[in-house]
Amino acid sequence: MTSIKTICVYCGSSPGRLEVYSEAANLLAESLVAENIQLIYGGASIGIMGMVADRVLALGGQVIGVIPKALSHKEVAHPNLTELHITHTMHERKMLMAELADGFIALPGGIGTLEELFEIWTWAQLGIHNKPLGLLNVAGYYDDLIRFLDHVTEQQFFKPRHRQMLMVESQPAHLLKRFLSFQHSLVEPWLGKDEI
């Protein structure tokens, strides 16, 4: 079993159309604080991003934001975080978030969220890290994506063991429970460490 002290949450810089997305953001925040897990995220005060951070802070939890300078106005850098790191580039932002986190969870979001999830998943596939990855499929938001990923696997462009790296749940508490019992040794990277 691994020790999870920090989790990076990828999610929308928009609130989305349905109330259920913000409800899931609040539930995830509550689960993180209940397990004494620090939130790592993109540092914005808007959309689902702002909601998760606000709820963790309101419950007395810790939030580390990482935002590139150029985006700090557009996404309105959150003013009350435990720590806010300002990076030069988007790549530095993602790298720092990845380094600080013991695991990664995607809530509903747009292409920024998808890009972040897919990047960290491809890094796991390559054996660059072996941290847990989770997708919160709130109200079926990701159903079509999950179906497509199964198609990619079935068409043999994706190995089943890499497909299985992504834990999919609809309830934040269920996903966090799986993270807390995650065993690094179960993940077998595509390439050996000395091949990278």
Residue 16 binds ligand AMP, judged by CB under 6 A = no
Q: Which residues of 86-96 are buried (b: 16+ CB within 10 A; e: fewer)?
A: bbeebeebbeb
By beta-carbon proximity to ligand AMP, the closer residue of 60 and 79 is 79
Closest CA to 127 of 76, 175, 195, 183: 195
By beta-carbon proximity to ligand AMP, the closer residue of 110 and 127 is 110
The CB-of-80 to ligand AMP minimum distance in angstroms stands at: 18
Phi, psi for 86 (deg, rounded to 5): -110, 120
Part of the chain binding ligand AMP (CB under 6 A), chosen from 7-15, 31-39, 130-138, 142-150: 7-15
Q: How far apart are CA 161 and CA 129, in angstroms?
A: 15
User: What Rg value do the Cα atoms of the chain yield, rounded?
Assistant: 16
Part of the chain binding ligand AMP (CB under 6 A), chosen from 112-120, 130-138, 145-153, 181-189: 112-120
Part of the chain binding ligand AMP (CB under 6 A), chosen from 26-34, 54-62, 104-112, 179-187: 104-112
Closest CA to 7 of 38, 43, 46, 50: 38
- Position with the least CB separation from ligand AMP: 112
x/- letters, 69..88, toward ligand AMP (CB under 6 A):
--x---x-------------
Task: Name residues whose C-beta falls within 8 Å of residue 182's C-beta, 6 or more positions apart in sequence.
Answer: 1, 2, 4, 103, 132
Residue 42 binds ligand AMP, judged by CB under 6 A = yes
Total number of residues shown for the chain: 196
The CB-of-23 to ligand AMP minimum distance in angstroms stands at: 18
The contact set with ligand AMP (CB under 6 A) reads 12-14, 42, 44, 71, 75, 90, 94, 109-113, 115-116
